[in-house]
Amino acid sequence: MNALALQKPASVSPIGFTVAPYPASQRLQVVTLSADTVKAFKSSCETYSVQAIEYKPFLRFALAEALDKITDYSLGAFLHATLRDRNTGGFLLEYEGQPVNTEEANQEGDFHVQLSTAISHICGIPNHDAMYGKFYARFTVENKDNSDSYLRQAHRRMELHNDGTFVNEQTDFVLMMKMAEENMDGGDSLLLHLDDWKDLNKFYHHPLAKQSIQWGAPPSKNVSTKVHHPVFIDEDVNGNPQLSYIDQFAEPQNRAQGLYLHAMGESLESEENCINVRVRVGSMLVVQNYMWLHGRDKFVAHEGLRRELLRQRGHFTR
Residues that bind Fe ion (CB under 5 A): 163
| Smallest separation, CB 294 to Fe ion (Å) | 6
Q: Residue type for 44, please?
A: S
Query: Which residue lies nearest Fe ion, judged by its C-beta?
Result: 163
Q: Of the two residues 45 and 83, which places its CB atom closer to Fe ion in the complex?
A: 83
Q: Of the two residues 129 and 163, which places its CB atom closer to Fe ion in the complex?
A: 163
| Smallest separation, CB 312 to Fe ion (Å) | 12
| Smallest separation, CB 289 to Fe ion (Å) | 9
Q: Of the two residues 210 and 278, which places its CB atom closer to Fe ion in the complex?
A: 278
Q: What is the 3-state secondary structure (H, E, C) of the chain?
A: CCHHHHCCCCCCCCCCEEEEEECCEEEEEEEEECHHHHHHHHHHHCCCCHHHHHHCHHHHHHHHHHHHHHCCCHHHHHHHHHHHCCCCCEEEEEECCCCCCHHHHHHCHHHHHHHHHHHHHHHCEECCECCCCECCEEEEEECCCCCCCCCCCCCCCEEEECCCCCCCCCCCEEEEEEEEEECCCECCEEEEEHHHCCCHHHHHCCCCCCCCEEECCCHHHCCCCCEEECCEECCCCCCCCEECCCCCCECCCCHHHHHHHHHHHHHHHCCCCCEEECCCCCCEEEEECCCEEEEECCECCCCCCEEEEEEEEEECCC
Q: Of the two residues 155 and 206, which places its CB atom closer to Fe ion in the complex?
A: 155
Task: Give whole-number Cα distances, 177 to 203, 212, 283, 285, in Å.
Answer: 31, 32, 6, 6
Q: Of the two residues 48 and 249, which places its CB atom closer to Fe ion in the complex?
A: 249
Q: Of the two residues 163 and 172, which places its CB atom closer to Fe ion in the complex?
A: 163
Q: Of the two residues 101 and 140, which places its CB atom closer to Fe ion in the complex?
A: 140
| Smallest separation, CB 59 to Fe ion (Å) | 27
Burial class (CB in 10 A: 0-12, 13-18, 19+), 19: middle
| Smallest separation, CB 309 to Fe ion (Å) | 11
Q: Of the two residues 76 and 295, which places its CB atom closer to Fe ion in the complex?
A: 295
| Smallest separation, CB 163 to Fe ion (Å) | 4
| Smallest separation, CB 173 to Fe ion (Å) | 12
| Smallest separation, CB 80 to Fe ion (Å) | 22
